[in-house]
Structure 1
């Protein structure tokens, strides 16, 4: 049978046998062997507690403490049975009753009481308090530790396996201190039981000797009292060892070596303290009447250790010099590491830590991970790791989203609530607010009212979902800024694995990585996903051979994507469009100018404001009918019109006529003209009376 199988069977059998000992009489010889095993086992536990470097290395101690306490109580019961029945309980107890205490009942009782006071009042009481405080502090620190682990994981400092190992260690530490808090009560109860068992044995033994056996009072006291005290001493010695082991385990902090090495190293490592203590011990010899030799010996030993510590100082100095060779706190390399800015950060107020505490159902970090995957799938952008941390300076129930260490958004998510979104929230108690992304009317209601809110027709959203949605909106809005040069290199390397010729033809032969980055950033700013990098790179290769103008490259990429550009705006097989009056569009073409920042429209303020006002009016009218229109214009104008419209109407997409190719149906919802006729409805313009048959005909009319 293997050792593992033996331990799996042996330990349960041993515990069952301990319970059996409580009711089954044991021979004196067997009792002697078990008492010896009890003392040796307690000594082994004490030495093991001294050798561990951290409490978790002895994680089985709470359960072992319970088993050994039960074992010792079973021995007490067996010894009491033999003492009361036979007046003899084995050689071990008899020896302790006669030799250890000198055969004196008074001496034995005094020693027994002193051992109880040491165990119960000093060691057990202190260990119980340390275990209680350790358990409370460990549980309180769990959310912060888990948040630190998740923050390191999100920032890429550790991988999933290391994060899982650290989480398990945090949970194991909390379980250990919680178990130690309960196990310390076993030790306290054992000390109380020892007192009661000794008193019962004394009274019961003398009663049996006098009443049943007809002994004289002196013989009864001599026989039963000494055996009872011997039994108590035999039990209290291992109990004291276990109490000391309990105190050592709960007061042990994490270290690099065992307790003995740490104590000797730290006490004997201070030369000045040893010298002062040594000379102080020798100075006590000057007091008349005190013996000289003990103090001289103690002082000499301390001075000897101080001299040894002095010889070890050069090694410490050498180590200090090696440390000094490391970069100083103000070294440029050290400063460069400290000033690194996280591209994307999420900060939580102190009372919102529960959102990242998995032990209490917090799922914010998991939602953020899922969000990164979703955005990568939607936009083709590798979102940077979101550095999540707590910020004590934030007001309660507040979160902040930072972009390159600059706050770009802030919101609230009160603890213990959920967000109800809907039109009929008046009957629900809570705090009125607006949904942070879409601005919908909402209310923070108590979490226990979820069912009631759903029955009233409201949409119920968890706090972590609100924050994740807000973060998603910020990431989507600032996707272009988040696309760094290294991200472009990474995406390009991925494309090169499957289409090496496409990448080799484009960069660095025609465009540098920075120029490719500018094109991709421009596409993201205009709401175009860059997932299909193969077609984008192929189009850039053809266009870059003719020009390196960013607008021209962007238009070439958009044209290559074709239906993918229009797809987000197609509803029911139809795309609704706004357009310019052909005559007015010709005027815009004449006002087009090209510069270093791309194509722009040179218009007087009145004309520019008329265009923006007309487009805004038409857009609002269309949105009131649940229509999401786009603005179409000549390809030469698209980039310039986008720059004109974007600051005022960012949600209005600007497309070129060729990009509508392949669309099932194009329907005009309005035409914008010049100063005299800024807005034409569908009834006022012939183009609005029927679907546009082909985008090319509209372009020719322009």
Structure 2
């Protein structure tokens, strides 16, 4: 146990001793001065903290100091009533401070008690109570704000954890202050009771036990009681003031003195007004000008000096900003910064500004946060921060989505309309502006508010503009997720997995596979819309087969087979069979015979005419399946799956290609078409 711990323990033991054991007057003098010193230190520390949590021990310290002061009151009361003396300090306060006039001292004591009890203590207690309630009420909103910043990539996990802990500490602090302020209130009441007891019983003891006359008893015990009251209430007043300062202190960049002088003197012109007002008081009222004129002149001179300093500071900042701007334009870093490309950009015309402006009710930023959360759950990847900005070069109602600086998609919104999509049977009474739903390319109508209810009754799907753009953005991110997963993002995923599966990660990288090779496998999965959230299973498979092959496409096939349960669940609907288009044996053999093996991997080298016939047949069969309202899926053998995917990827990118090994045994499969290349 350290010296600091022992000193605190000894202090608590001393407080208990004061309540039981009579102390000599010389020791009481030392303890009273220590009490005053502690009160001074506490109020000075409270004034110099930047935020309440910097003085988080204050509630407990307040209790200990209050208990110490009450212990002193007990000891001094014992000494006053038993010996008619309480040491040099109390005698000094009772005679020198109040000039020997007990009545004046008693009045001063009562004023101090009233100020402390009715003003400072009452206010501090109320502020503590309200602060505790508001802090607890604000906790859910603050937690959501932290989650939003974390999902948007604005803060790291460590920063989020630190901010959450700070919120919890604030709630604990204000809750403790709410309780601790009750001790201050009780201390003020106890001070009044102790003084009354000392006065009444002092008169009785002085006359009946110590043989004093009435005048001697009144004078002696009044002076001692008032002195005792003053030496206890002055530190109590300082502690109460410190309590008020702590609970009313908002987070700031400086101490209380710095903030007071900075903010009060932030408007020099107001000093002119104050100085002029005081000057007029000396002229038009009987107040002596010798009192008002010096103060007015001091205020006016202070305002002038502050105005000059402010003007000088502004000029210096302008010069510095100009120099920095010139230096930035000349420095090579200014050119380097222009080379940076945002992974995802969402640009919109000025007519769509209300979509992103929270002050106008726009919730696009919140929707982007939810999109990133959705992608993390569905695809298992961290979508980079989506840069949102307006672009005056676009049409007012137009928006574009860019991936790494290249425009990928665009659309147009009418903010005062709704987009209505037909259920398949057109209703001629529903009229509007013809358009195309941007995410899936379906024909749609922009309709007004007055036709919304009628369209919904007719079976139309009606969505508002923010939902249209968020759906479009979600689909674009899904479609291009493999382009957004670079080596840096892959390393983040690997580092996150290493926290819970260190042995598994160490087996895969860097000995077996590099970060780039892991990235290649993950992007292959994302390219076919397979979630990589189940990283432990993916790494288990790479650990098993990574040392056997350096062909990342083949390794991806092994990983897909290990994710068969996930892929099966993704492709099927509970209670319904999986409708598929299969490849004829002839086609599979032609594809297998066309595989060329090289030292850099295998690739498909098929006759262009033969490839075209296979593509046309596959397109015909999948279109027929889609017209039946079924999901288009091509099923083939594991040996040719990835080559079939390579063959149709450019022309049928949305058609999944599965192998038999990627389906669970309990999946009911129905073949509704065959690709025969004829």
TM-score range, shorter chain: 0.5 to 0.7
Q: 1:523 aligns to what?
A: 528
Query: 1:613 Cα deviation (Å)?
Result: 7.7
| Residue 308 (structure 1) aligned with residue 305 (structure 2) | yes
- Distance in 2 of aligned mates of 1:338 and 1:287: 71
Which of residues 92, 110, 114 in structure 1 aligns to 2:111?
A: 114
CA distance in 1, matches of 2:647, 2:89: 102
Q: Quote the residue 1:238 is aligned against.
A: 235
| Of 30, 33, 37, the match for 2:34 | 37
Out of 226, 229, 246, the residue aligned to residue 229 of structure 1 is 226
> Does residue 278 of the first structure (1) align with residue 275 of the second (2)?
yes
Equivalent in 20, 27, 42 of residue 23 of structure 1: 20
Residue 599 of structure 1 corresponds to which residue in structure 2? 615
Note the C-alpha offset of 1:65. 1.3
CA gap of 1:483–1:670, structure 2 versus 1, over 3 A, is closer
Q: CA deviation at 1:309?
A: 0.1
1:578, distance to aligned residue in structure 2 (A): 6.3
Q: Are the structure 2 counterparts of residues 155 and 24 from structure 1 closer, same or farther at C-alpha, using a change threshold of 3 Å?
A: same
Contact 1:558–1:565 at 8 Å: present in 2 too? no
Q: How far has the Cα of 1:25 moved from its partner?
A: 0.6
Distance 1:161 1:577, change over 3 A: closer
**What displacement does 1:163 show?**
2.8
Structure 2: distance between partners of 1:527 and 1:699: 33
Q: Following the alignment from structure 1 to structure 2, what is the Cα–Cα distance between the partners of residues 45 and 306?
A: 34
Say whether 1:561 aligns with 2:560. Answer: no
Structure 1: state its 5+ residue gaps: 343-364, 377-381, 388-402, 407-473, 508-512, 541-556, 620-628, 675-697
TM-score (norm 1): 0.59
Shift of 1:585: 8.7
Equivalent residues of 2:343, 2:484 under 8 A apart: no
2:151 is the counterpart of 1:154 = yes
Matches within 5 A, 1:99-498: 99-318=96-315, 321=318, 340=345, 382-384=381-383, 479-485=478-484, 487=486
TM-aligned CA distance change 1:534 to 1:287, over 3 Å: same
Pick the aligned partner of 1:75 from 69, 72, 75: 72
Partner of 1:6: 3
2:53 paired residue number: 56
Classify 1:48/1:230 alpha carbon distance in 2 versus 1 (closer, same or farther; 3 Å). same
Which whole-Å CA distance do the structure 1 matches of 2:224 and 2:121 have between them? Answer: 26
Q: CA deviation at 1:110?
A: 1.0
User: Kindly tell me: are residues 26 and 673 of structure 1, through their superposed partners in 2, closer, same or farther at Cα, counting changes over 3 Å?
Assistant: closer
- 1:294-315 deviation line (CA, Å, top 9, x unaligned): 2112112212211220221234
Question: What does the per-residue CA deviation read over 1:291-343, in whole Å, with 9 as the maximum and x for residues that have no partner?
Answer: 1212112112212211220221234313663797799xxxx99xx9999559x
The size of the alignment, in residue pairs, is 508
Q: CA, structure 1 residues 204+673, in 2 after alignment: closer, same or farther (shift >3 Å)?
A: closer
Cα distance between partner residues in 2 of 1:492 and 1:70: 57
Give yes or no for contact 2:481–2:527 (8 Å, CA) kept in 1. Answer: no
Cα distance change of structure 1 residues 319 and 498 upon mapping to structure 2, 3 Å threshold: farther
Change (3 A) 1:641 1:237: closer
Kindly indicate whether the alpha-carbon contact (under 8 Å) linking 1:55 and 1:254 is maintained by their aligned counterparts in 2. yes
* Equivalent-residue separation in structure 2 for 1:527 and 1:219 (angstroms): 93
**Alpha-carbon distance in 1 for matches of 2:65, 2:525:** 70
Aligned mates of 2:65, 2:533 — CA distance in 1 = 70
Q: Which stretch shifts more, 562-571 or 659-668?
A: 659-668
Contact 2:578 2:670 in 1 (8 A): no
Displacement of 1:114 in angstroms is 0.7
The separation in 1 between residues aligned to 2:667 and 2:343, in whole angstroms, is 56
Q: After the TM superposition, which of the residue ranges 183-192 and 317-326 deviates more from structure 2?
A: 317-326
What SS is found at the alignment partner of 2:20? coil
1:22 is paired with a residue whose SS is helix
Which 5+ residue runs of structure 2 have no aligned equivalent? 326-336, 348-369, 387-401, 404-408, 411-472, 495-507, 569-576, 592-607
**Which string of whole-angstrom CA distances, capped at 9 and with x for unpartnered residues, describes residues 232-254 of structure 1?**
11111111111111111111122
State the match for 2:600 in structure 1.
none
* Secondary structure at the counterpart of residue 615 of structure 2: strand
Give the drift of 1:119: 0.7
Matched-pair contact (CA < 8 Å) for 1:105–1:226: yes
Contact 2:564–2:663 under 8 Å retained in 1: no
**Structure 1 residue 521: Cα displacement:** 5.5
Equivalent-residue separation in structure 2 for 1:319 and 1:12 (angstroms)? 55
Query: How far did residue 44 of structure 1 move?
Result: 1.7
